Amino acid sequence: MFDKVEWKLENEERSEEAEWLAEVAGFEDRQAEIEFNEIVEYQRDRGILKGEYYLSVTPLPLATHLLGSWLEKHGKSEIEELFEKMPPDMLSRFGERIPYMASYRPGRQWISEKLSTDGLFYENEGAVLETDWGSQLFLQFAEAAPRDAIDPAESFVNQKSVDKLRQFTTGRRNIIQSLQYMAVWDDTFKRAAELLLDLAEAE
């Protein structure tokens, strides 16, 4: 589900991300921890896992297949649970897999819910979109589901005055790129183009 996971620190201690991942996978006691390490080393030897301090699954088609298998088995409720509990640095790398999640029904359902009016991008007038992390995450959602993403983008831009849009700098480039994804589709072209024009006129 992640592009990469921090496995160990420079002092060779296991990272917070690796500890969290082991716990999620059910490897919690000392004996289970040893087994977890053995599994990782075995998959490294096979060439499935690459990296020393950060681990990633290769090749990409296999990583995508494993993502799909996990989504079909666990469903959107467990995606949400992971999303809420994962270490902060993992969230951005999780975002890189979101476009692939749209290929599977549980993933599509979860993406649609996160882009709904009850989702993250409507909270506090879309404040998360004015952060590097939040705008980058939204970019991944927009690539995965441009027709759903147009609504929170429209809400965010339309509620701001020209002065507020002019002051909107952090996250601006990612929001513009998100709108460019949406402008590709006939049914979202006009709305996305109008939002891009609003941002351009405010510069």
Q: Does residue 88 carry a pLDDT above 80?
A: no
> For residue 131, what are its two tokens?
């952060």
Q: What is the pLDDT of residue 66?
A: 84
For tokens 């941002």, the residue is 199
Per-chain mean pLDDT for the chain: 89
Strand ranges of the sheet holding 49-50, from the earlier edge strand across to the other edge: 5-6, 54-57, 49-50
Identify the CA nearest to 41 among candidates 13, 60, 33.
33
CA distance 8 to 94: 18
pTM: 0.78
User: pLDDT tens digits for 151-183?
Assistant: 999 999 999 999 999 999 999 999 999 999 999
pLDDT confidence tier of residue 60, bands split at 50, 70 and 90: confident
Q: Which stretches of 52-176 are assigned E, i.e. beta strand? A: 54-57
Average pLDDT over residues 28-33: 84
Q: Does residue 76 carry a pLDDT above 80?
A: no
Cα atoms in the 13 Å half-sphere on the side-chain side of 126: 25
